[in-house]
Amino acid sequence: MFIDKQSPQAFHALVQVSEAVRATASEAGLGRTAVELINLRVSQLNGCAYCLDVHTAAALRAGESPRRLGVLNAWRDTDLFTPVERAALALAEATTDPADAASQASAYETARQVLSEDQISAAIWVAVTINAFNRVSIMSKHPVKPSQAG
């Protein structure tokens, strides 16, 4: 069952949270591409094909390069990401796996060097929100349908 369709009020509330988080990120100066990188990295970690499909398209529309998207899974092993993006990605990973206290401490330490407190908060909220959407899509088994373009 698609739980978003089964419980539309709950899903609508989640969409509203997502819109507020997107505005918070923008107000904090966390760019749209950084937000989409967080969305994609968390979706990679959670194995959410549907969200990966949706946010790959969104990242490309926001101006992200196919090259960077292709290496996102190994972002630590490349110099293609800015210090701000790297800090946001580390926070996203720590938020997605909160049981790893060492990663959380390291992510915060790195983030405090390059992000404002508002940006740190926004990056964590983006990760929290996409984690929720991942679970909705995974549990609903939302399909990734072939497009006419391929």
Query: pLDDT tens digits, residue range 70-99?
Result: 999 999 999 999 999 999 999 999 999 988
Q: Is residue 57 scored above 60 in pLDDT?
A: yes
Position 150 pLDDT exceeds 70: no
| Whether the Cβ atoms of residue 103 and residue 94 lie closer than 8 Å to each other | yes
pLDDT at 98: 87
Q: Say if residue 149's pLDDT is above 70.
A: no
Q: Two tokens at 107?
A: 């992510």
Report, in angstroms and rounded to the nearest whole number, the Rg of the chain calculated over CA atoms.
15
Q: Is the pTM of this model over 0.85?
A: yes
Q: What is the DSSP letter of 147?
A: P
pLDDT above 80 (res 148): no
Neighbours of 44 (CB within 10 A): 17
CA-CA distance, 20 to 14, in Å (whole number)? 10
Query: Which residue is it, tokens 């210090």?
Result: 83
Express as a percent the part of the chain with pLDDT over 90.
Answer: 92
Q: Find out if CATH 1.20.1290.10 is the number for domain 14-140.
A: yes
Residue whose C-alpha is closest to residue 23's, from 92, 132, 110, 121: 121
Burial-class residue 21 by CB neighbours within 10 Å (0-12, 13-18, 19+): buried
Span 102-118, pLDDT tens digits: 889 999 999 999 999 99
Residue 40 has pLDDT above 90, yes or no: yes
Extents of the domains making up the chain: 14-140
Instruction: Put residue 47 in one of left, alpha, beta given phi > 0 → left and psi -120 to 50 → alpha.
Output: left
